[in-house]
Amino acid sequence: MTLSPAGLIISSAMTESKSPIIIEVAVPLPLDTTFHYAVPWSLAPFAATGVRVLVPFGKRKLTGYVIAAVAESGEEVREIIAVLDQEPLFTVGELEFLRWSAGYYLHPLGEVIKSALPAGINITSRSRTRQKPDGAEVAEEVLTGGKRVKTELFYRAAVPLPEGGKLRDKPARIVAFLGANGEAPASLLRREFGADAAILKRLNEKGFLAATEREVYRDPFREEVFLRDTPPVLNYSQAEAFRQLAAAIKGRAFAPFLLHGVTGSGKTEVYLRAIANVLDQGQTALVLVPEIALTPQLVRRFKCRFTCGIAVLHSGLSDGERFDEWRRIRRGEVSVAIGARSAIFAPLERIGVIVVDEEHDASYKQSEGFRYNARDLALVRGKMERACVILGSATPLVTSYHAAQAGKLGTLHLPSRVRNLPMPTVMLLDARRKKNETFLPELAAALGENLAAGGQTLLFLNRRGFATFLICNDCGHVLRCPNCSITLTYHQRRGRHFCHYCDFSIPAPSVCPECESPEIILLGRGTERVEEEVKGLFPEARVSRMDRDTTTGRGGHARVLKGVEEGSIDILVGTQMIAKGHDFPGVTLVGVISADATLNLPDFRSGERTFQLVSQVMGRAGRGDAPGKVLIQTLAPDHYAISRAAAHDFEGFYAEELESRREAGYPPFAYLAAITLSGNAAPVVEKWAEEAAKLLRLVKREQRSRVEVLGPVTAPLGKIRGRFRWQLLLKSAGRTELHRLLAGFRGKFKTPAVVRTNIDVDPVDML
């Protein structure tokens, strides 16, 4: 056995007499089958379940995952090339969870495993042609990718120091420091002494310093200091919720709960107590939060509370940082892992509790590639680990609340805010017939008053950019994306019109591109326009904006939030990014510029989404000592999603929403699956959508299935990124029957490569 520089374990045996071990390998390709490979005896001790192996695959080389040892293989099998890991990347228990996920979401196991592991670690081969010195071209396979372990040189003072060598100034101080303190990494010496690599190298060569290369972690929170906090005394409802959780944790059986607590009711404090309890028992905690809510503020609350290792996983990290955080979890160096959706696959062992904060949030659903829902998988993993699962929200999903009422989830209720703080007062402003005004007089007045009183304001609008579309007053031409079936949004600062789906853009025209009339008008408004108008209205106010355009780049997000926290921002304009989870005690006014954008989407969840969004943004007001006020401008003041949110009436909203779901046969009264076909040629996609429907109905008859097959229809977003889209919707009273039909269909349905078929089990995005 030899260990190559890249960490590959390669076979060194020439001839091997005994018959080889056979392993089952999953490869990260869209294939439903797994493959058998032979392992040479010299590699046999290393090719355990959970390690990656480099295997020949057709003409290529690929990284695969060992998922089992098999006794015998009926087929002729090829040999693996190398073992890529010295320790398994996943345990047998984790594999069981990944298998379950692959089965439930009908996605190939190899791809599921790949998306559960940190990105960028796999080795694959690429073919390229190389010129030989004699000019001849040869084709060869080159290996790319691989591990990303970061190393750093650590220095210590040599013992004894070399005779006769005399050092002065900086070098003398460095050697003295290391003599007194032992070993230190090069980065620390650079920070403390301004020692660059050349100085250290010279001192090493002269024999003053000894160097060792060591593996280091990239820590995204390295610079910060965390002061221990003092936990508050729980109020009655918190204590009662905690009592039930503590009992469940003690029982060490699967125990799922819905923690329904109004905004500002201290849900996070309940999570922290439950986690402390779990840690005391030597178990670990997995905490899922929506990507947007995964702010430094939240992480700080955890770091200030717990002395154990905490890992943070989110998309703001570099691949390297993610890989390091992942390895800290794998090695058992942390007891708490906090992350966005994909953290549900974190390699945490001995899990005692899984928290899903803001369980209603749509970002738990991955809607591309491997289409899983981390909120749902939390219950599955919790069951496998016999853990306590806490689904927390002020606005639980209708389906969650229904499950809680049916006794499938334990119910924990926090009906009021902490410290007896009142809920904000809410006023609905009817914006009908006043569509051209960004601020109705009441909102403008409230803004002025709040500013004068020194309070902070959040202004919410769920649309970024300046204007929603450009229309020609003469010929009626509207600027549309050539690749997608939507209009282009005008972004003033960049002077261009953008597609929010595919990022296509054109410079802002000065005349109509169709008839050359100069009479072009910009309609609708986005956050950019609101920011400009509020600045015009209150030139003395310190105004900031937070949406996907302003928060690109590392820490952009955090800077704005810090500004609100520290009081250096008076008015923050933003999209749903400002609605979620933040705890800003200085915010006394929340203005909803328009609450209707989500209401009119052709999606059965549009009412629920609107209710959640409005309730969440309202919940940012009055979390400090001063009471909060909310003003909501809307074109639909009588819609139950808006009026119930304004009345802080979850129960009332739930009752109405449940009734409409019952009538239309949507969850919780049915399980859904969506099948989407897409391709570049509209008629071809349509034809195959018809074929899919025919096959589904045929399989349905064969299976005597009662699953309802609806469609095919063109998708509400009929074209995205140049691909035309058709949809079928399956509705079923039971999960098993739905899966049987999908499996039967999937096994038989074959389209030409130009048509792509996606199956989405429990779809969240219906567009």
In the complex, which residues of this chain contact Zn ion (CB under 5 A)?
Answer: 472, 474-475, 477, 481, 483-484, 499, 501-502, 504, 512, 514-515, 517
Report the DSSP pairing between strands 587-594 and 629-634. Answer: parallel
Asked if 721 and 501 touch (Cβ cutoff 8 Å), the reply is: yes
Give the C-alpha separation, 164 to 154, whole Å.
Answer: 25
Stretch that binds ligand ADP, among 161-169, 250-258, 262-270, 475-483 (CB under 6 A): 262-270
Q: How far is the CB of 547 from ligand ADP (least distance, A)?
A: 22
Pick the closer one to Zn ion by CB: 156 or 500. Answer: 500
Instruction: Give the tokens for residue 414.
Output: 């926090």
Q: Which of 369, 350, 385, 248 is nearest to 377 (CA)?
A: 385
- 406: DSSP letter: T
CB nearer to Zn ion: pick between 45 and 476: 476
Nearest to 548 by CA among 518, 527, 564, 523: 527
574 lines the binding site for ligand ADP (CB under 6 A): no
We find the least distance from the C-beta atom of residue 584 to ligand ADP, in angstroms, to be 10
Peptide bond into 668 cis (omega under 30): yes
Q: Which is nearer to ligand ADP, 103 or 232 (CB)?
A: 232
Is the Cβ of residue 485 or residue 751 nearer to Zn ion in the bound state? 485
- Chain centroid, CA 140 distance in Å: 38
- The distance of closest approach from Cβ of residue 267 to ligand ADP in the complex, given in angstroms and rounded to an integer, is 4
- Determine, following the binding rule CB under 6 A, whether residue 273 of this chain makes contact with ligand ADP: no
Q: Which of 46, 123, 55 is nearest to 85 (CA)?
A: 46
Other CB atoms closer than 10 Å to residue 195's CB: what's the count? Answer: 22
Whichever of 391 and 418 has its CB closer to ligand ADP, that residue is 418
| 361 binds ligand ADP, rule: CB under 6 A | no
Q: Which does 54 bind (CB under 5 to 8 A by kind): Zn ion, ligand ADP, none?
A: none
Percentages (nearest 5) of helix, strand, coil residues in the chain: 30, 25, 40
Q: Which is nearer to ligand ADP, 275 or 696 (CB)?
A: 275
Choose the contact partner of 419 out of ligand ADP, Zn ion, none; CB within 5 to 8 A by kind: ligand ADP
158 binds, among ligand ADP, Zn ion, none (CB under 5 to 8 A by kind): none
283 in contact with ligand ADP (CB under 6 A): no
In the list 269, 325, 361, 762, the residue contacting ligand ADP (rule: CB under 6 A) is: 269
Among ligand ADP, Zn ion, none, partner that 266 touches (CB below 5 to 8 angstroms by kind) = ligand ADP
Instruction: State which of positions 380-419 bind ligand ADP (CB under 6 A).
Output: 418-419
Residue 692: count of CB within 10 angstroms of its CB = 24
Give the span between the Cα atoms of 32 and 94, in whole angstroms. Answer: 19
How many CA atoms, within 13 angstroms, populate the side-chain half-sphere of residue 717?
A: 19
The tokens 């000019």 sit on which residue?
A: 135
Choose which of 162, 165, 182, 232 interacts with ligand ADP (CB under 6 A): 232
- From the CB of 706, what's the least distance to ligand ADP, in Å? 42
Q: Give the nearest distance from C-beta 355 to ligand ADP in angstroms.
A: 11
Among 101, 115, 237, 268, binds ligand ADP (CB under 6 A): 268
Q: Smallest distance, Å, CB 580 to ligand ADP?
A: 10
**CB atoms near residue 649 (< 10 Å):** 16
Is 240 an interacting residue with respect to ligand ADP (CB under 6 A)? no
Near ligand ADP by CB under 6 A, which window of 17-25, 228-236, 324-332, 697-705?
228-236
Span interacting with ligand ADP, options 84-92, 231-239, 404-412, 720-728, rule CB under 6 A: 231-239
Tell me the torsion sign for CA atoms 678, 679, 680, 681. negative
Quote the least distance from Cβ 91 to Zn ion, whole Å.
43
Phi, psi of 182 (to 5 degrees): 80, -145
Q: Choose among ligand ADP, Zn ion, none what residue 424 binds, the Cβ cut-off being 5 to 8 Å by kind.
A: none
Q: Residue 87 has which token pair?
A: 């320790």
What the block records as the tokens of 423 is: 């809920």
Q: Verify binding: residue 296, ligand ADP, rule CB under 6 A.
A: no
Residues pairing with 460 in the sheet: 574, 592
Distance (Å, rounded) from C-alpha 316 to C-alpha 305? 23
Check residue 266 for interaction with ligand ADP (CB under 6 A).
yes
155 Cβ neighbours under 8 A, 6+ residues apart:
178, 183, 184, 185, 186, 189, 200, 203, 204, 209, 210, 211
Amino acid identity, residue 670? A
Q: How many residues line the site for ligand ADP (CB under 6 A)?
A: 16
Contacts with ligand ADP, residue ranges (CB under 6 A): 232-235, 238, 261, 263-269, 418-419, 583
